[in-house]
Amino acid sequence: SFNLNDKLAGFEADPRRVLDSQASVLRFVSNQRLTPAALRARPQQAKALGFWPRARLHSHMFRLLFRPSVALQRRLDDRGLPEGPLIGLHFRAGDQMPQHWKDPPRHALEELDEFLDCAARVEASLGWSNTHLILFADTDLVLELPRVKELMASGKLTWPAQTDSLVHLDRSPATLTVRGLLRVWADWWTLAFDADALVLSHSGFGATALEMGPERPAFLGKGCVPA
């Protein structure tokens, strides 16, 4: 097992130190992208395996290796997503749930308006009709925002979360994470594979959903620039 968190430069400088291991299975722990450096270090082997060059390799590998558990699939089936195009929004405030985890501030709550404006622009640019929004956020305080209330009352916006299951996978205490774990994965899977377009925060939650899912329009909510 190789713990390479925040050690991308070291891995890129000498990837063979890891790749020449005689272990039958290599387990990487990393919060950075090691795949390109690994494939470049073994170009012939990567080509022989069909890994290089290949568009959306991580998405291909994820779907090859993983599928929802029975419990997760049941949760997804019960979600009852609306008909028509679906725009998924992920909004990360960061520091608005101190009773559930500690995190630096990311986005002020009022910035959610910019995310919703971006979603409206995406919908208009694609010429979609009967479009719905599904909002994933790390705080239920978004439900108090007037615009969110209005969109939910009209049926335009769905909020699938429950307050007691709002958890941060690597920051919440284990007792809380266990309670919300299934809901978090259902949210991530919906964002990754059920949303037809994305409006995202700078966050691994949204970034991995974008990368593992199919190719589709995706934007950062701040500035509404392509993700």
Q: CB–CB of 27/1 below 8 Å? A: yes
Can you give the pLDDT at residue 4?
A: 84
Strand partners, 29: 3
pLDDT at 35: 86
User: Can you give the pLDDT at residue 146?
Assistant: 97
pLDDT, position 164: 61
pLDDT reported for residue 99: 73
b/e burial code for range 148-186 (CB count within 10 A of at least 16 → b)? beebeeeeebbbebeeebbbbeeebeeebbeebbebbbb
State residue 105's pLDDT score: 81
The per-residue pLDDT for 106 is 85
Residues of the chain below pLDDT 70: 98, 101, 163-165
Spatial separation of the C-alpha atoms in residues 107 and 211, rounded to whole Å: 22
The predicted pLDDT at position 216 comes to 97
pTM of the model: 0.84
Q: How far apart are CA 143 and CA 150, in angstroms?
A: 10
The Cα 115–Cα 157 span in angstroms is 13
How much is the pLDDT for 163? 60
Report yes or no: 91 and 221 within 8 Å, Cβ to Cβ. Answer: yes
Residue 27 and residue 3: Cα distance in Å, rounded?
8
Instruction: Specify the pLDDT at position 128.
Output: 96
**Phi–psi pair at 147, nearest 5 degrees:** -70, -40
What is the DSSP code (8-state) at residue 197? E
What pLDDT sits at residue 196? Answer: 98
